[in-house]
Amino acid sequence: MKRPRYTGKNYKKALNIEDLERIAKRRLPNFVFEYVYGGSDDEHTLRHNRSVFDQYLFEPKTMTNVGPRKLDTPLFGRTHPMPLAIGPTGFNGMLTRDGDLKLARAARDAGIPFVLSSVSTTRLEEIAAVEGLTAWMQIYFYRDREFVKSMIRRCADAGFDAIVVTTDSAIYGNREWDVRNFRQPMKPTLANLLHLLTKPGWMSDVLWPDGLPTFKNLDDLLPPDKRNAQGASQIIGPQLDPTLNWDDIAWLRELWPGKLMLKGILSPNEAEMAVDHGVDGIVLSNHGGRQLNHSLSPMDTLAEVKARVGERCQLFVDSGFRRGTDIIKARALGADAVWLGRATLYGLAAGGQPGVAHALSLLKKEMESTLGLLGHTHLDALDATCLRQRRF
């Protein structure tokens, strides 16, 4: 029997991330929601990112003292109140005005890091200026290396703590739903335009008075006549450099004195190579199912990567996390923290900055209760003995 879920629009009544997803879908135009939700090709990786958690079952301990539970997590010498970061996602101004700033401020208030995407709709200097924020910056390697160098200089001048290089997007993924929803780049089909007319709240928030937001950190990369959303969408993909390799990481390591992370690695061998190249952190990721179809999930290789790199770097994971139980499973397998993408974007779309805060609060409560039900009071007590792997 299929039981009814929450069908309203009040983000405060959402009991989980899935509720926020449904609220976001009702608020957003179809082409915007599909941009956030969709994966590559037939979306096998997208589905696997959720089903992989079913492979791990908890083995709880009872008759233990599980009074106050603590989720505090040290990352790069700072202690954060829970093992989370808001990961880099692009074009957030299409969900709500100043979407990047709202995410950053929610992260600041929750005491967790925020990672700004280089294809954000807010200038990196504005994010770095958010008082009290642990700010990290994600970059792509573009063909124009002088532009990459200029981004590094801007990050240093602005005071970012870390740079994150995305490694799995040197070739742009085949996102068919994004193509289907537009007759030309950033020009929705007639059906999508008609659906857009049913979203006056979104239009007044996002489109008025200047139209779709632009990519504020890419002006020096784009020709002046291509700096609008439509022009940039045609330029950015071809600018990604498919020759990205370890020599580029060594070059960047020489340029950047702060913490350096690589995002997009899944191979244990590559994880070891990253550490050997002086990388401070690794984010196991399949780009949320938006790049290679039929890809492994980070959860498939997390334990082996941890065994290879040990404590030589910080180890993060993303892709598919929707529940506190998911996060606890990742911690038990060796992750230091989880980076959130769609989970906090659904909160942003459903309720702006308070919606993001609500999403983080839901996950925190789920983590606390799961930790206690496992018989522990602190994350450090978790290891692989908490889990049994199902054999299908």
Q: Which helix (H) or strand (E) holds 150?
A: helix 145-158
> Is the torsion defined by CA of 286, 289, 292, 297 positive or negative?
positive
Q: Is the pLDDT of residue 390 over 90?
A: no
pTM: 0.96
Spell out the domain ranges in the chain. 11-175+238-389
Report whether the peptide linkage leading into residue 88 is cis, meaning its omega lies within 30 degrees of zero.
no
| pLDDT tens digits, one per residue of 216-273 | 999 999 988 888 888 888 888 889 999 999 999 999 999 999 999 999 999 999 999 9
Residues 6+ apart with CB under 8 A from 356: 86, 102, 103, 106, 107, 344, 347, 348
How many C-beta atoms lie closer than 10 Å to residue 307's C-beta? 10
Taking the C-alpha atoms of residue 3 and residue 15, their distance in angstroms, rounded to an integer, is 15
Which positions ≥6 away from 169 have C-beta within 8 Å?
140, 240, 264, 287, 291
pLDDT band at 128 (very low <50, low <70, confident <90, very high): very high
Q: Is the pLDDT of residue 197 over 70?
A: yes
Sign of the dihedral through C-alpha 242, 243, 246, 251: negative
Domain 11-175+238-389 has CATH 3.10.20.30: no
* Choice among 44, 48, 277, 287 that is catalytic: 287
Residues 85-94, mean pLDDT to the nearest whole number: 97
294: annotated active-site residue: no
Predicted confidence (pLDDT) per residue in 42-81, tens digit: 999 999 999 999 999 999 999 999 989 999 999 999 999 9
Q: Which two tokens stand for residue 233?
A: 């969408």
- Kindly report, residue by residue over 142-181, the tens digit of the pLDDT: 999 999 999 999 999 999 999 999 999 988 889 998 889 9
d(CA 250, CA 235) in angstroms, rounded, equals: 27
Residue-level pLDDT at 392: 62
pLDDT at 27: 97
The string of DSSP letters for 324-378 reads HHHHHHHHHTT-SEEEESHHHHHHHHHHHHHHHHHHHHHHHHHHHHHHHHTT-SB
With a CB cutoff of 8 Å and minimum separation 6, the contacts of 245 are none
Between CA 370 and CA 344 the distance in angstroms is 20
Instruction: Please check whether residue 147 is in contact with residue 221, taking contact to mean a CB–CB distance below 8 angstroms.
Output: yes
Confidence check: pLDDT of 383 > 80: yes
Give the three-class secondary structure for 210.
Answer: coil
